[in-house]
């Protein structure tokens, strides 16, 4: 890339009004208009005869995503370098724009990752902290959050303090969680690191209310001492109908291969514009502007988070470049509709589970305090035994990978009321003795 080529192409930045379409055999199909939930289900190639209630771990691809991946794959297989050359400057911008439309944020605030774990690692490793700074986190977070924080603190010298947000998940309240954070903030606290929906218990934390507590604490601090709010959002993302402004955190990491039903091996990391200086890139970006800056052709002070924080190197591009199709598909169905359907099926499941004497439901029933993860125990059986027994009945459940483990069923928009009823009957049949 030389100065002439750079200047010729510099209109391709995210801010440009229009982008050329991907140069390819033909555009992949756009999502069909929403018809019924059965129509949505038929867009998946899920194995028939099974009840798939663990898409929260790793999703199947709906048709528009599958077709886009296939189109890119064919092009790469036919002429990888030419296809990459023709599209590398724009393909990721297309995805950032789709993410921005879904999240209702500036696409420059979005970096693309390969997973929630990668986003968490980039977020926590990149934080500009020093010895004496404190990271306030909880005892309910995923392995990937705990380890990313430990790795980061071992390098920057910050300390980590973990607090309990609730003792009994089934009885958790928003006030209890908000108060726990409010009373734990100290002068040294610079980061609050939490998880939106705990995959350990299914509890949904009140992120907006906690963001307000942090904003109130920041009102009395100078900018050097500002507290930043980092969230692992993966199990609310694609369930709750939110915007980044509405949620109110500064940083948000989420995989898009779970509830968003995006390509496996994709995710996003959001950084609010007025907070993004707190995160330094970890892996060099291959974006057009980041390269331009390295070649002294683009001013460093114009680089955005989106320019610099998407890890570069060559990737499984057929997946990354198809993520826009998942966001478009979600929006065609409608974010509110997705939220209501997921809530409807989960509420039905939980109401059934809590009626069973041999079952202990650990997730709150309230939609304010839960999303789509439902954790429970069955008397006399370990979580793995529950999962194995449900698998014998062709129901895919999962056990939570935590020190205290529970069985989980996580109905999503691919499931039906009949499937929830069948799953409940199967659990009824697990009564021991």
Ligand X SMILES: Cc1ncc(COP(=O)(O)O)c(C=O)c1O
Q: Which residues bind ligand X (CB under 6 A)?
A: 57, 115-117, 142, 144, 195, 199, 232, 234-235, 255, 267
Nearer to ligand X, 172 or 217 (CB): 172
State which residue, 90 or 145, has the beta carbon closest to ligand X. 145
Within 10 A of 275 (CB to CB), how many other CB atoms are there?
A: 18
Helix axes of 143-156 and 116-126: crossing angle, nearest 10 degrees: 20
Nearer to ligand X by Cβ, of 144 and 375: the residue is: 144
Q: Where are the alpha helices (DSSP H) in 12-115?
A: 37-41, 63-87, 91-103
Report, in Å, the least distance between residue 211 CB and ligand X: 18
Q: Least distance in Å: CB of 119 to ligand X?
A: 8
Task: Give 235 or 272: the residue with its C-beta nearer to ligand X.
Answer: 235
Which of residues 94 and 194 has its CB atom nearest to ligand X in the complex?
194
* Cβ distance to ligand X smaller for residue 232 or 377: 232
Nearer to ligand X, 126 or 255 (CB): 255
Which residues fall within 8 angstroms of residue 190, CB to CB, at 6 or more apart? Answer: 129, 133, 134, 135, 158, 225, 226, 227, 228
Q: What are the tokens at 313?
A: 């190197």
Shortest Å, Cβ 321 to ligand X: 18
Q: b/e map of 90-116 (b: 16 or more CB within 10 Å)?
A: bbbbbbbbbbbebbebbbbbbbbbbbb
Closest CB to ligand X among 13 and 121?
121
Contact between 52 and 414 (Cβ < 8 Å): yes
- Rounded least distance, CB 117 to ligand X, Å: 3
In angstroms, give the least distance from the CB of 137 to ligand X.
13
The least CB distance from residue 59 to ligand X, in Å, is 10
* Minimum CB–partner distance for residue 239 and ligand X (Å): 13
What is the chain's length? 433
Q: How many angstroms separate the CA atoms of 109 and 243, rounded?
A: 13
- Are the C-beta atoms of residues 327 and 224 closer than 8 Å to each other? no
Strand 228-232 vs strand 251-255: parallel, antiparallel, or unpaired?
Answer: parallel
Contact 267, 118 (CB under 8 A): yes
Element housing 159 (H / E):
strand 159-163
**Least spacing, CB of residue 160 vs ligand X, in Å:** 17
The tokens for 164 are: 């309990």
The residue at minimum Cβ distance from ligand X is 255
């Amino acid at each position: 890339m030389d100065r002439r080529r750079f200047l010729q192409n510099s209109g391709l930045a995210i801010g440009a009004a229009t982008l050329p379409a991907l140069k390819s055999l033909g555009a992949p199909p756009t999502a069909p208009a929403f018809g019924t939930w059965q129509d949505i289900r038929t867009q998946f190639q899920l194995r028939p005869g099974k009840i798939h209630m663990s898409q929260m771990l790793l999703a199947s691809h709906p048709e528009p995503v599958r077709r886009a991946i296939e189109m890119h794959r064919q092009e790469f297989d036919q002429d990888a370098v030419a296809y990459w050359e023709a599209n590398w400057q724009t393909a990721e911008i297309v995805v950032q724009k789709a993410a921005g439309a879904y999240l209702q944020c500036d696409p420059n605030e979005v970096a693309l990752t390969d997973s929630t774990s990668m986003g968490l690692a980039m977020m926590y490793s990149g934080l500009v902290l020093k010895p004496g700074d404190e990271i306030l986190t909880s005892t309910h977070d995923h392995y990937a959050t705990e380890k990313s924080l430990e790795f980061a603190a071992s390098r920057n010298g910050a300390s980590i303090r973990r607090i309990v947000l609730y003792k009994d998940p089934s009885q958790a309240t928003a006030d209890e969680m908000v108060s726990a954070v409010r009373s734990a903030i100290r002068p040294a606290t610079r980061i609050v690191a939490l998880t939106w929906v705990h995959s350990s218990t299914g509890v949904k934390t009140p992120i907006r209310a906690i963001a307000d507590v942090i904003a109130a604490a920041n009102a009395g601090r100078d900018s050097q001492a500002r507290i930043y709010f980092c969230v692992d959002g993966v199990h609310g993302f694609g369930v709750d109908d939110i915007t980044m402004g509405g949620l109110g955190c500064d940083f948000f990491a989420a995989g898009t291969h779970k509830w968003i039903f995006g390509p496996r091996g994709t995710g996003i990391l959001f950084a609010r514009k007025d907070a993004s200086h707190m995160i330094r890139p970890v892996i060099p970006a291959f974006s057009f502007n980041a390269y331009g800056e390295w070649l002294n052709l683009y001013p460093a002070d114009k680089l955005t988070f989106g320019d610099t924080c998407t890890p570069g190197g060559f990737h499984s591009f057929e997946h990354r470049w198809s993520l826009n199709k998942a966001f478009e598909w979600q929006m065609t169905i409608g974010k509110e509709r997705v939220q209501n359907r997921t809530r409807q099926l989960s509420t039905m499941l939980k109401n059934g589970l809590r009626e069973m004497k041999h079952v202990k439901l650990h997730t709150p029933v309230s939609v304010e305090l839960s999303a789509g993860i439902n954790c429970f125990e069955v008397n006399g059986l370990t979580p793995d035994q529950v999962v194995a027994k449900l698998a014998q009945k062709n129901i895919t459940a999962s056990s939570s990978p935590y020190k205290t483990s529970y069985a989980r069923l996580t109905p999503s928009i691919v499931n039906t009321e009949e499937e929830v009823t069948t799953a409940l009957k199967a659990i009824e049949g697990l009564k021991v003795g």
